[in-house]
Chain A
């Protein structure tokens, strides 16, 4: 009986694992095959990857899209880290009743669905476009600004600050550091793992973001990777090999981040709710 139960457990987990991995395998295999083989359901790797890649680069602005995505994701991550950790630290270290109330109000923004924001945000940036096109519709800052500050990240940094040893703070003050000096010279270096976890989450969210860039980025040379893939997938005569190659390339950065920094990744997700 116990043995049967164990066998069932392994079987169940193996099936779930297989189902989880299979689409990845299929994506990778398909990227190495020409479209006809993919349609035939070929499940063995071929030698067509470079041809697919060349076709992809000829038919789309792949490098431009990768560049756009990278610039947006990196800028978003760096800015988000600084802004949110300043606030999370500030709320925790300099506590007061008023600021705790403000914190709770900020948390409410987590309940706001993006669907309720997209129309006014679009109009907001359309208005800005009239006198400052460089930061209006179709600009990188229009993509970054609304997504860079999230209550979730502020909350995450506030929770982590609770773990920060307070005597280091006092030591810094005795050494004559300013409050902001303490933050940059003591807090930031001590909390590297917190920053790593938060950075990974933010980078992935930004790299994969679809709806808002779809709305604000309107010319082809501004498109990001998710927009490029979505366009390819919407075509009437899709070249499966080429599309799968594009998806492999788009998934590569996030998959790499995940495998190299798995521990931080999990810490980033769960750390804030513990």
Chain B
């Protein structure tokens, strides 16, 4: 008589299979995300150039507060954040609500057209915008021709207008991206809610604020967090449109970290400190956004 092989319990078998399916991902994420994060934290307490590093405690963190370039980069990043993210989200919401109307003609065309910018690489569209907004570029000649302005605007070389250019560029690239999320979320809203509201005499603006926005809150929260994280990491556009200039008027935090590590004298320790400031900002801002969304819920 053949003896039955001792069988592993279902739980044990599940456990072995479970771990073997996920092990590569776990190892990869720990090696390329969490381990560098710890390295970065250790580095942030050290100073020196290249590989010659000495431990200096909190000196780097104290240095942040008197570092003018850093403070400018933080200020710039927050200007982008405070102006660009809300403008883009409101614009994307408006467009998606309009496009969600099934009676609208050319819906497919509008949707594809507005989404199209997402196809371009950040570098490619940055270069296009750099030339379109050049002093003698097309945007200026257009505005001059229709007499909206009397002399060309210094889109790239004036500290104020350079920020405006960056904001316009990012909004152009990402509005359609956010729109797609809102459109797919709008499709899940039951139409009868709107019909009931109309019978109750709610105007379309009231419907928007009382029905659409509250129902879409999770997705608005999601897009505002991803946009915030994206803006805090802004790099490609700054480097390719303005190179951070004029002066440091458009420099972002990521650009400064890059310069500290790879352009100036390889100050890895201090660069790591600056990078931790982004980590802290992301945590704080995500927390605030969750809080705000949560309160409106209650």
Contact = CB atoms under 8 A, between A and B. Distances in A.
Interface of A: 9-10, 12-13, 16-17, 19-21, 23-24, 26-27, 38-39, 41, 83-84, 86-87, 89-91, 93-96, 99, 102, 106, 109, 111-124, 145-146, 148-149, 151, 154, 179-180, 183, 204, 207-208, 210-211, 215, 225-226, 229-230, 232-234, 238, 240, 243-244, 247, 250-251, 254-255, 258, 262, 266, 269-270, 273-274
Given A17-B114, A112-B33, A208-B121, A273 B40 contact: no
Contacts of B262: 122, 215
Interface of B: 14-15, 17-22, 24-26, 28-29, 32-37, 39-40, 43, 91, 95, 98-99, 104-106, 109-110, 112-117, 119-132, 136, 138, 141, 172, 176-177, 180-181, 184-185, 188, 219, 222, 229, 232-233, 235-236, 239-240, 243, 253-254, 257-258, 261-262, 268, 271-272, 275-276, 278-279, 282-283, 286
List the 7 closest pairs (A to B, CB-CB), nearest first: A90-B21, A94-B18, A208-B121, A87-B25, A149-B28, A120-B36, A120-B39
B120 to A, nearest CB: 6
Chain B interface mostly helix, strand, loop or mixed?
helix
Contacts of B117: 20, 23
Given A102-B22, A207-B121, A255-B119, A116 B37 contact: yes
Nearest to B232: A113
A109 B176 CA distance: 26
Contact of A149 (B25, B91, B121, B222): B25
A112 B236 contact: no
Nearest to A147: B32
A91 B254 CA distance: 34
A109 B29 contact: yes
A244 B120 CA distance: 13
Chain A interface mostly helix, strand, loop or mixed?
helix
Contacts of B243: 234
Contacts of A27: 128
A149 B128 contact: no
Contacts of A102: 22, 26
Contact of B261 (A112, A118, A207, A258): A118
A117 B123 contact: no
Best-surrounded residue of B39, B136, B177, B268 (most CB of chain A within 10 A): B39
Given A41-B141, A96-B18, A208-B122, A113 B233 contact: yes
Contacts, number: 242
Contacts of B261: 118-119, 122
A24 B104 CA distance: 25
Given A90-B21, A113-B232, A274-B184, A230 B283 contact: no
A51 B181 CA distance: 42
Best-surrounded residue of A113, A151, A154 (most CB of chain B within 10 A): A113
A266 B176 contact: no
B110 A90 contact: no
A117 B127 contact: no
A269 B185 CA distance: 12
B119 A258 contact: yes
Contacts of B172: 19-20, 23
Best-surrounded residue of B25, B43, B262 (most CB of chain A within 10 A): B25
